[in-house]
Amino acid sequence: MSNELVLIEQCQQLFTEGKGNEEIILFLRRRGCSKVQTIALIAKALNLGLTQAKEMVHTSNTWKDAREQDERFHDSLEKGLKK
């Protein structure tokens, strides 16, 4: 079984045990998943759309340290597209 499938099953198990979204996101980050990988795995494990999973991960306390940098990057892209 692939590592991705194992992580998805583990996330589903955590959810079944009553763990919250934040705990599951932290679980994935502690296992070395990037923010993008975390979004994809959360979407699959919890049967969410990518937009909903992205919002959940982006606003999480677990990824708070990356949020400001990501938002600055997004803003600079928008400014560049408006020129």
Per-residue confidence (pLDDT) for residue 76, from 0 to 100: 79
Per-residue confidence (pLDDT) for residue 79, from 0 to 100: 73
Reduced to 3 states (helix: H, G, I; strand: E, B; else coil), residue 60 is: coil
Quick check: 13 pLDDT over 80?
yes
Distance separating alpha carbons of residues 50 and 45, to the nearest angstrom: 11
Per-residue confidence (pLDDT) for residue 83, from 0 to 100: 65
Q: What are the boundaries of each domain within the chain?
A: 3-82
Mean pLDDT along residues 17-41: 97
pTM beyond 0.95: no
Distance separating alpha carbons of residues 8 and 34, to the nearest angstrom: 15
Give the pLDDT confidence of 36-76 residue by residue, as tens digits.
999 999 999 999 999 999 999 999 999 999 888 877 877 77
